[in-house]
Amino acid sequence: MTDSNAADDNWLIDEDEEELPASGLGAPDQRLWRVLIVDDDVDVHAVTRLALRNVSFKGRELELFSAYSGREAYDILRDTPDIALVLLDVVMETDDAGLLLARRIREELHNAIVRVVLRTGQPGQAPEQRVIIEYDINDYKAKTELTTQKLFTTVISALRAYESLNMLERSRVGLGKILAGATNLYQIHSLREFASGVLNQVSAILDVGSDGVLCLMQGDTGVTTVVAATGGYAELNNSELMPTTHPLWPTIVKAFNEKKSQFEHPANVLFIHTQENREVAISVTPPWPLAQIQRDLLEVFCQRIAAAFDNLYMFGQLRKAQEATVVALADLAEFRDSGTGGHVRRVQLLSSTLAQRLHERGAYPDEVTPQLLEMIGLASILHDVGKVATPDHILLKPGIHTPEERAEMQQHAAVGRTILERAANMVDGVSYLTYGAAIAGGHHEHWDGNGYPNQLKGRDIPIAARIVAVIDVFDSLLHERPYKEPWPHTEAVTYIRDRAGKQFDPEVVAALLEMIERDPSIGHTPG
């Protein structure tokens, strides 16, 4: 304060000549408690720094910041994270600069955690009761009553309150991340992607960076496999097995042997045992020891991860069962029509590749979805499953079909769609069977509306069916059938090109032609 009186000049009196002992040894790898001194009197800053020079709390020393006006203090608080305490003068550039700053801290910076201790040399200018009620001030001290010991007590009390509030806030945020993280992790199909998601969630909860390694031990084999690693351990992604020479290895082994989490700073290993008898260790190495609330949060998260691992395993088993069902249906249809050889497998490969090419071209972004890219390959092998209802004398006829036989043959599209739709309706959501039904019922529809069975036109035909329609004909032309010899590659390509905009979606044809131009061997795969 610029007009301080004699009493103000002696506001900090050493009533104890002995140097205050530190409450713990500050470790070089631990953060400091950040304290902001706000006062327009340079001497106040000097004396405060002198009084707090040896103060530490829970092994962490103080880092002191200085501001000489409310405006300067606001900028520091806005730009400097984790300030725990503000020692705030009232009268600076204006008579109420300190009170205005206190209000801006809460209302504009939305910082409800930092502790604010008001110090004034003129108590009457800012009545204590009104200030405490109207402003979110945590303590009010007249400078005349602040001895070194009382300042020490005030600072430690404020830091203890800040730590408690900070842990509560981290707990709230951490629990939110656990719930959101567990939800997201359930949606990941790849084990490595899942593991990377786990590491990201753990790092977010700890707020200590991205170093971590996730190891999976299958059953009782004793083999520890690296599933995913981040940050400083990223090179472990290239190792299938966890190196026994790695610094984390002893703690990981201890966690697996004792079947419980280990917190041995700097190595912290979270142990997870799933219902499917899989044991997982997540190791993190924060630069400071984990607080108990962080440990508790991680233990809760471990329980959610274990459930997610089991869910992922069950999802994988259901997925494999679904894929096996699709393959069995396709094999059943192909078993009766042995002349098609490896047709369905080639259609599977080329349909998946063509869909990916459409995605790269940016074609039909609302139709060429990640789900389509994932499922179209396997679903495409069901395109002719309706042939199970076609009589042998028509299906296996070596010559040209009569109009009546052709009509009978064409019924396989509607039959296939009906069979697969009935099966798909027994499963919630979109599955291979859903796409298979669309493909079976639509791959003989024509872009110009002259196809069958429903004379659909243009984009009314499902995109999966439009893709498979091109690949089905292209592959059939290139390979022998009971009623035809294989066509030369150039003639097959010319046929597909000429039918663009008539039988086939021109965008799909353009994508196929691009594929062939890049790789002329496409379509030459032995049948």
**Which helix (H) or strand (E) covers residue 403, if one does?**
helix 403-424
Q: How far apart are CA 507 and CA 487, in angstroms?
A: 24
How far is 476 from 523, CA to CA, in rounded Å?
10
Nearest residue to 105 via CA among 126, 133, 75: 75
Residue 154: how many other CB atoms lie within 10 Å: 19
Taking the C-alpha atoms of residue 299 and residue 280, their distance in angstroms, rounded to an integer, is: 13
Residue 273 CA to residue 280 CA, distance in Å, equals: 6
CA distances from 258 to 219, 251, 269 (A): 15, 10, 12
3-state class (DSSP) for residue 88: strand
| Residues designated as active site | 387
Query: 262 — phi, psi (to 5°)?
Result: -125, 130
Kind and range of the H or E element at 177? helix 148-185
β-bridge partners, 217: 224, 279
In the structure encoding, which two tokens stand for residue 123, read together? Answer: 């108590």
Q: For residue 107, give both structure tokens.
A: 């209302």
Q: Give me Rg for the CA atoms of the chain.
A: 36
Distances (CA, A) of 249 to 124, 202, 269, 323, 521: 64, 19, 10, 38, 49
- The sheet with strand 212-218 has its strands ordered as 224-230, 212-218, 278-284, 267-273, 262-264
Instruction: State the Cα–Cα distance between residues 493 and 513, nearest whole angstrom.
Output: 8
Q: How many CB atoms lie within 10 A of CB 406?
A: 12
Strands (E), 224-366: 224-230, 262-264, 267-273, 278-284
Among the listed residues 380, 371, 379, the one whose alpha carbon sits nearest the alpha carbon of residue 429? 371
Structure tokens at 304: 């959610």
Q: HSE-up of 133 (CA within 13 Å, CB side)?
A: 4
- Amino acid occupying residue 236: L
Side chain identity at residue 99, one-letter code: L
